[in-house]
Amino acid sequence: MTLTYYRWLESPVGLLLLTSNGQSLTGLYLQGQRYFPRITADWHEAERVAPFAQAEDQLADYFAHQCQQFDLPLAPQGTAFQKQVWQYLRQIPYGQTISYGTLAQQLGQPTASRAVGAANGRNPISIIVPCHRVIASNGKLTGYAGGLDRKQWLLQHEQVAIAAHPPEPVQISLRLF
């Protein structure tokens, strides 16, 4: 049986719940979001469990416009298809958006935009796995489990950072969780 550790963290988008298996980050949830996990008696509140300190530092830098890419051990739980979608989400450049349909095409499943949207909505590691960067094909903000106001805030936050500090080109490699 895998233990679940958790920690609350204040942020500009409200309280965040970090979860870990003791080695990797398994969740980052915005308080009140759809699919928010139920904290049960067998969960352990802990501040010093890996990788909470590292996640907190990188999130603080993200919110201070000093981090455009996260480097943390991640272990999200989901189906193979969900994990594939979440891996592709990590390749969306900071401050940019992509449509659900385009993401489905990149996955080699051009008719699966609804399935991509469903997997996107079940992303257990918000912000770090940037599901907020996926929008409707008409450019509208849709489908964010944390609420459209938070999605808009995160996208605007990244645009401000891009305007002030354009990112340097990065080499992206695909690796599964």
Report d(CA 104, CA 167) in Å as an integer. Answer: 26
Architecture of domain 4-63: 2-Layer Sandwich (3.30)
Residue from 104, 107, 129, 131 carrying the catalytic annotation:
131
Look up tokens 């409200």; give the residue. 14
pLDDT higher at 153 or 48: 153
Confidence of residue 172 (pLDDT cuts 50, 70, 90): very low
> What pTM was estimated for this model as a whole?
0.88
CB atoms < 10 A from the CB of 123, how many? 27
Look up tokens 């802990």; give the residue. 46
CATH number of the domain at 80-164, please?
1.10.10.10
Confidence of residue 167 (pLDDT cuts 50, 70, 90): low
79 closest CA partner among 119, 45, 43, 52 = 119
pLDDT recorded at residue 124:
97
What the block records as the tokens of 90 is 């990590």
pLDDT recorded at residue 2:
79
CB distance 118 to 134 below 8 Å: no
CB distance 124 to 27 below 8 Å: yes
Q: What number is the average pLDDT over the span 90-105?
A: 94
Domain boundary assignment for the chain: 4-63, 80-164
Q: What number is the average pLDDT over the span 83-91?
A: 96
- Our answer to whether residue 131 is catalytic in this structure is yes
pLDDT recorded at residue 173:
47
CB distance 15 to 65 below 8 Å: no
Query: Is 80-164 in the same CATH topology as 4-63?
Result: no
